[in-house]
Amino acid sequence: MRHALASALLLAACASPEEAFVGTYIGTQTCDGRNADTGELVSTGPDPISIEIDRDASTGEAFIAGRCQIDLDVRSTSSAALVPSTCEAALPDGTPATLSYVSGSAELSGNNLRLDYSVLAMYPGSTLTIRYVFTGFTD
C-alpha cells in the first residue's frame, strides 16, 4: 500500500505543467470591444460557455480547442500565456472571418481557470478589437 501511494505521489510530482491545464472548463465569458471602422462599442455577457484545453499528442504542448486552435505557452502549473496566432473561421452566423489572437493570459487556481485575451476580428465590412474574459471551473 505504501509503495502504491509513493508511486502516485511521484507521478503527480513529475506531471508536466501543461497537464495541469488539460480539461473542460464550464463558466461564463464577457466580451468588450470596438468596431475599428465606426467606433461603435460592443459588449456582451456574461454568457455561458465551455472551453476545452488539450495537449498535442506529438509535442505535448497545451492548446485551447475551438474554431481556432490557440496554443498556450505554459510557464508553470498555474500560469500560461496565449501564443499569438491567426486563423480563418466562420462567425456564429456563418460569415467568414480572420481572427488574430493578439495576446492573453491563463491563470489556474485549483480547478478554477481565468482567461483574459485580445482578438482582432476582421470580416467583410468590419474590423473589431475585442477583449474576452472567461472564468470557469473543471471537475
**Amino acid residing at 29:** Q
Please give the pLDDT value at position 33.
95
Ordered by where they begin, the domains of the chain are 17-137 (2.40.160)
Q: What is the pLDDT along the chain (139 residues), one digit of tens a residue?
A: 454 444 444 334 446 888 899 999 999 999 999 999 899 998 999 999 999 999 998 888 999 998 899 999 999 999 999 999 999 998 878 889 999 999 999 999 999 999 999 999 999 989 999 999 999 999 7
- What value, to the nearest 5°, has the Cα angle with vertex 44 and ends 40 and 46? 160
